[in-house]
């Protein structure tokens, strides 16, 4: 049945019929959008009025410093419908464990219940400070945020790996590979660890100290072929992080650890010089590092994203994995478009963790006046995403226009290729 006419448009010229239909479509589209907005957020229609200002005011108790960091929670955009579990947790809220030699804090599924597939740890080590020899049930991906450190491991052939890492270097230790981290001169290091398990906890790892402390001494004596007396000084509780002397020259450590077996042929570290080509646009840049380039990182893929002020990491989704985010610098906001007509916008800044469940549509917009830099992390061997623009641009135009009530010039303006980052 024909929809009743909403506008007086002449049909005298047959050539104008298509235009006529489009105009009516566009009008009807606007009408239903306006009705939807009116039903959902009536206050928007009266924006700017005194009544609206009072409707949005918060005369009771509130926390001005947190409110100022979360403007999209205090006054959500009119398009938000809510109903989305929180997908932000600042490291500032995390319980910091302090040791002589450094500290550690973590964000797991306990802190951020939506973060089922990944967890993160932020750690500081002084010069000489050691994250003790240990291994995990989860794979560990890391990026150096500050300073320098020496990392050690053995590979699955038992061969030794020792390397020094500096700011922006990465490393990856697969589950079960034993390793350590130690801060170097002049001021140690701070780094971010990302684990491929939301239930992971740094405090549930296999540590050298407690493994030895809880093995009968006579067994240690047999195992290492030395007298029991030699273990009289073993620590009887975990070390986790402790202060030690700054290690000597890298080559000396490498040779001593390699012994007769030789050094590992595997490289657990990854440096910016090894990074694949950066994809640059006017709006920013993105570097994708997954197992195609960082060979050992078989369970974790990463994108390091820079968005210029006003720029937008375009609307997209990831078909193969949840996204765990860490904000390195700047300010941004993200809307998570969930199933069942649910949506929520949250604000992020340096030190915050964000999370996007697999397949959900999202964008990240730079809302500050400096570059926004953040990490997109995935429990996957390969990075994958879909761009909303690319999908629409490669779907028959009439079909898309019939959905969105947009005209042909608007359809034609949609970028044909994945832009990744749109400029302001």
According to CB under 5 A, which residues from 373 to 412 bind Mn ion? 376
CB of 267 to Mn ion, least distance (A): 17
- First vs last C-alpha separation in the chain: 43
CB of 191 to Mn ion, least distance (A): 11
By CB under 5 A, the count of residues binding Mn ion is 3
CB of 422 to Mn ion, least distance (A): 14
The one catalytic residue among 106, 111, 323, 376: 376
Q: Quick one: tokens of 54?
A: 């009072």
According to CB under 5 A, which residues from 294 to 353 bind Mn ion? 323
Nearest alpha carbon to residue 21 among 38, 5, 35, 33: 5
Considering beta carbons, is residue 197 or 406 the nearer one to Mn ion? 197
Omega cis (within 30) before 186: yes
Spatial neighbors of 277 by CB under 8 A, at least 6 apart, are none
Cα distance between residue 124 and residue 113, in whole Å: 25
According to CB under 5 A, which residues from 65 to 104 bind Mn ion? none
CA dihedral (72, 75, 77, 82) positive or negative = positive
Helix (H) or strand (E) holding 145: strand 140-154
CB of 184 to Mn ion, least distance (A): 18
Q: Is 41 exposed, middle or buried (0-12, 13-18, 19+ CB in 10 A)?
A: middle
According to CB under 5 A, which residues from 118 to 157 bind Mn ion? 140
Yes or no: say if 179 and 257 are a contact pair by the CB < 8 Å rule: no
CB of 264 to Mn ion, least distance (A): 17
Considering beta carbons, is residue 41 or 361 the nearer one to Mn ion? 361
Annotation says 245 is catalytic: no
Yes or no: say if 276 and 289 are a contact pair by the CB < 8 Å rule: yes
Q: Quick one: tokens of 338?
A: 């969930």
Looking at the DSSP bridge assignments, the partners of residue 102 are: 99, 125
Yes or no: say if 123 and 180 are a contact pair by the CB < 8 Å rule: no
DSSP class of residue 278? P
Residue that the structure tokens 């108790």 belong to: 61
CB 204: neighbour CB atoms within 10 A?
A: 11
Using the rule CB under 5 A, give the single segment among 267-275, 334-342, 371-379, 397-405 that binds Mn ion: 371-379
CB of 405 to Mn ion, least distance (A): 28
Q: Is 15 exposed, middle or buried (0-12, 13-18, 19+ CB in 10 A)?
A: exposed
Using the rule CB under 5 A, give the single segment among 11-19, 207-215, 277-285, 370-378 that binds Mn ion: 370-378
Considering beta carbons, is residue 140 or 196 the nearer one to Mn ion? 140
Looking at the DSSP bridge assignments, the partners of residue 422 are: 312
Q: Quick one: tokens of 299?
A: 């369970």
Q: Quick one: tokens of 155?
A: 């590979």
CB of 202 to Mn ion, least distance (A): 7
- Catalytic machinery residues: 376
Residues that bind Mn ion (CB under 5 A): 140, 323, 376
């Amino acid at each position: 049945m024909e929809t009743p006419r909403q506008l007086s448009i002449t049909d005298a010229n047959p050539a104008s019929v298509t235009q006529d239909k489009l105009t009516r479509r566009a009008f009807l589209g606007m009408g239903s959008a306006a009705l939807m907005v009116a039903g959902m957020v009536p206050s928007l229609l009266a924006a700017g009025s005194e009544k609206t200002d009072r409707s949005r005011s918060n005369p009771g108790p509130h926390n001005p410093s947190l409110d100022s960091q979360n403007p999209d929670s205090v006054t959500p955009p009119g398009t938000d419908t809510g109903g989305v579990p929180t997908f932000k947790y600042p490291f500032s809220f995390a319980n910091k464990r302090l040791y002589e030699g450094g500290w550690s804090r973590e964000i797991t599924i306990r802190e951020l219940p939506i973060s089922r597939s990944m967890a993160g740890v932020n750690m500081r080590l002084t010069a000489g400070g050691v994250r003790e020899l240990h291994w995990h049930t989860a794979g560990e991906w890391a990026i150096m945020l500050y300073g320098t450190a020496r990392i050690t491991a053995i590979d699955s052939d038992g061969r030794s790996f020792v390397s020094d890492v500096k700011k922006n270097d990465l490393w990856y230790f697969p589950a079960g590979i034993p390793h350590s981290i130690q801060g170097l001169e002049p001021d140690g290091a701070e780094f971010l660890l990302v684990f491929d398990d939301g239930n992971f906890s740094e405090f549930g790892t296999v540590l050298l100290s407690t493994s030895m402390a809880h093995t009968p001494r006579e067994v240690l004596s047999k195992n290492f072929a030395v007298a029991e007396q030699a273990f009289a000084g073993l620590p009887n509780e975990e070390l986790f992080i402790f202060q030690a002397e700054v290690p000597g020259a890298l080559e000396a450590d490498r040779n001593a650890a390699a012994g007769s077996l030789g050094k590992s042929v595997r490289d657990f570290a990854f440096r910016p010089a090894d990074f694949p080509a950066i994809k640059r646009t006017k709006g920013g840049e993105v570097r994708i590092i997954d197992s195609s380039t960082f060979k050992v990182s078989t369970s974790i893929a990463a994108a390091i994203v820079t968005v210029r002020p006003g720029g937008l990491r375009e609307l997209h989704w990831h078909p193969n994995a949840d996204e765990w985010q860490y904000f390195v610098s700047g300010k941004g906001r993200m809307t998570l478009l969930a199933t069942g007509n649910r949506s929520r916008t949250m604000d992020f800044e340096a030190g915050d963790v964000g999370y996007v469940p697999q397949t959900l549509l999202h964008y990240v917009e730079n809302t500050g006046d400096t570059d926004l830099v953040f990490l997109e992390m995935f429990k996957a061997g390969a990075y994958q995403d879909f761009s909303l623009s690319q999908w629409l641009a490669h779907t028959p135009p009439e079909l898309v226009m019939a959905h969105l009530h947009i005209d042909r010039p608007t359809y034609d303006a949609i970028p044909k290729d994945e832009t990744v980052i749109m400029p302001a």
